[in-house]
Amino acid sequence: MSDQPNIILINCDDLGYGDLGCYGSGINQTPYLDQMAADGIQFTDFYMGSPVCSPSRGAMLTGCYPPRIGFAEFDGRWVLFPGQSLGLNPSEKTVASLLKEVGYATKIVGKWHCGDQKEFLPTRHGFDSYYGIPYSNDMGRQTPDDKYPPLPLLFDEDVIQEQPDQASVTERYVEESVRFIRANQDTPFFLYFAHMYVHLPIYPPDRFMRESENGRYGAAVQAIDWSVGVLLDELKQLGLDENTLVIFTSDNGSRARGEGGSNKPLRGTKGTTWEGGQRVPCIMRWPSQIPPGSVSNQLVSAIDLCPTLVELAGGEMPSDRIIDGKDISSLIRNEEGAITPRETFLYYRLHNLMAIRSGRWKLHTHTVGKSGIEVCNELYDLVADIGETTNLYDQHPDIVADLNAQMDIYRKDLGDNLTGTKGENTRSVGRVDSSDTLTHYDPDHPYIIAMYDLKDRG
């Protein structure tokens, strides 16, 4: 057995904290993920770097808070859009490029959303190959006069289909993932499987629609679960099971506005810096290293994955730049007495530092009200009050003062528009002089689906 583990990182889109059976859902069918949790470790306090997708994904790939890498916002937009001139700077090091340096075969299947110009595509960021839709699945044609061009499906850097049937996309992703695993079973590999589900619009396969007790949403969750089952079975069939670390998580919380998603028992939704926006499910399975049935309530983040995976692979993080992630390999193995190296976690909404967590305490200095971002004075004990229901601000002035002082330090480091503070240690987003969309609508092209009939966008 190689000292270097195979690594599969599965990242869902908009899957909420309460959407899996092992996290409390009584309505979505997730037997494979529930078994994966029983076989490995389940994290209860795992955070994404942002409550929306582009900054969340850039943060996870680089091990840095979004403002650190110029990914807090994109010329005023929350996420990247088709044809935009911005993307992940080619000078950034990703987990894929760092693993590639120590002999890994690397592949991304699914959603990228870190820039669609050639300079920003996955193949320019350490991935040997790419198969997927480069941004959100709602950024395709849904109306005759749509502002979006046809939704592109890419292989490496070329569009191989426009406006694919979204009900078949996940099955195609699984097939491509299995092909990659089989082709690289004799060498260490890193597979980043970035699901389309459960982002709107949701087009699930018929089988899962028939079985779902939670409409389209539940069917999409079940499709995700099925895909995990296929990958785990493939690893067993190839004899790779024991030395493969499989990580399952989501890029941010669920929209949870009547669409079937759940962030329970957390407060807030996607796009907010309440717990429901950024605390997400995280399950890891590695039979030779992780004791079955493990649970960790330690404070950890997706920005910790990059340095951790590089360390496990025998690589080195770059020393010429600041990396915010910490090595959490002892927590992954659930070693006795292991304590998180993460003392704090920052909640950024665009360039605005809204809240901070340290240990059990979370301080909100700002929230979003009817008139926009508003000052607030709210302190929560997340161990006793996971739902952020009881404000303890007045009872603990010493804790408030300490957390405010820490926020001031981070503002100087990363910046904060709310206080007019420019960050001293931030890097630039990637930018090209001219840009174009990957596709353009052609009325004579034989699209399998010229316009998606669901008009949901999220």
The CATH number linked to 267 is 3.40.720.10
Provide the 3-class DSSP secondary structure of residue 242.
Answer: coil
Interior angle at CA 110, CA 107 and CA 111, nearest 5: 115
Residues 205 and 328 in one domain: yes
Active site residue 366: no
Looking at the fold, whether 383 and 319 belong to one and the same domain comes out as no
User: Residue 257's pLDDT is what?
Assistant: 74
Q: Is residue 450 part of a domain?
A: no
What pLDDT digit, counting tens, does each position of 353-372 carry? 999 999 999 999 999 988 88
Spatial separation of the C-alpha atoms in residues 28 and 7, rounded to whole Å = 27
Same domain flag for 166 and 214:
yes
Shared domain check, 394 and 281? no
Domain termination residue (choose one: 308, 332, 356): 332
Higher pLDDT, 3 or 154: 154
- With b meaning 16 or more CB within 10 Å and e meaning fewer, what string describes 203-224? bbbeebbeebebebbbbbbbbb
**Residues 222-257: pLDDT tens digits?**
999 999 999 999 999 999 999 999 999 999 999 977
Cis peptide before 5 (omega within 30 of 0): no
Model confidence, pTM: 0.97
What is the number of other CB atoms lying within 10 angstroms of the CB of residue 430? 23
pLDDT of residue 2: 67
| pLDDT tens per residue, range 253-286 | 999 777 899 999 999 999 999 999 999 999 999 9
Kindly tell me the burial class for residue 173, based on how many C-beta atoms sit within 10 Å of its own C-beta (0-12, 13-18, 19 or more): buried
Does some domain include residue 339? no
pLDDT number for residue 1:
47
* 250 located within any domain: yes
Same domain flag for 117 and 246 = yes
Same domain, 275 and 360: no
> Which H helix or E strand runs over 309?
helix 305-312
State how many domains the chain has. Answer: 2
Domain of 200, in residue numbers: 6-332
* pLDDT, tens only, 35-60: 999 999 999 999 999 999 999 999 99
Give yes or no for a contact between 115 and 430, defined as CB atoms under 8 angstroms apart. yes
Same domain, 313 and 400: no
pLDDT digits (tens, 9 = 90+) for 94-143: 999 999 999 999 999 999 999 999 999 999 999 999 999 999 999 999 99
Report the greatest alpha carbon distance in the chain: 68
DSSP symbols for 176-240: HHHHHHHHTTTS-EEEEEE--TTSSS----HHHHHH-SSHHHHHHHHHHHHHHHHHHHHHHHTT-
Q: Is residue 29 predicted with pLDDT exceeding 60? A: yes
Residue 25 lies in a domain: yes
Long-range contacts from 321-329, C-beta under 8 angstroms, 24+ separation: 321/93, 321/427, 322/64, 322/68, 322/425, 323/62, 323/63, 323/64, 324/63, 324/64, 324/65, 324/68, 325/63, 325/64, 325/301, 328/298, 328/300, 328/304
| Same domain for 290 and 349 | no
Average pLDDT of span 422-440: 98
d(CA 425, CA 413): 5
Rounded to whole angstroms, the Cα distance separating 214 from 212 reads 5
Q: Is residue 376 among the annotated active site residues?
A: no
User: What pLDDT digit, counting tens, does each position of 321-355 carry?
Assistant: 999 999 999 999 999 999 999 999 999 999 999 99
Structural domain contains residue 160: yes
Judged against a pLDDT cut of 70, whether residue 454 lies above it is answered with yes
Q: What is the mean pLDDT of residues 184-190?
A: 98
In 111-188, beta strands by DSSP E: 129-132, 152-155, 158-162
In a domain, 128, yes or no: yes
Helix (H) / strand (E) containing 105: strand 105-110
Q: Indicate the pLDDT class of residue 374, thresholds 50, 70 and 90.
A: very high
CA 372 from centroid of its chain's CA atoms: 26
Cis ω before 265 (30° cut-off from 0): yes
* CB 154, CB 117: distance < 8 Å: no
Which position among 113, 125, 199, 366 bears the catalytic label?
Answer: 113
β-bridge mates for residue 106, sequence order? 190
Query: Could you say which of 278, 298, 332 is where a domain stops?
Result: 332
Judge whether 447 lies within some domain. Answer: no
CATH of the domain at 368: 3.30.1120.10
Torsion of CA 403, 64, 67, 69, to 10 degrees: 160
Asked whether residue 248 falls in the same domain as residue 366, the answer is no
User: Of these residues, 12, 53, 114, 282, which one is catalytic?
Assistant: 53
Is 456 inside any structural domain?
no
Within this chain, do residues 147 and 280 fall inside the same structural domain, yes or no? yes
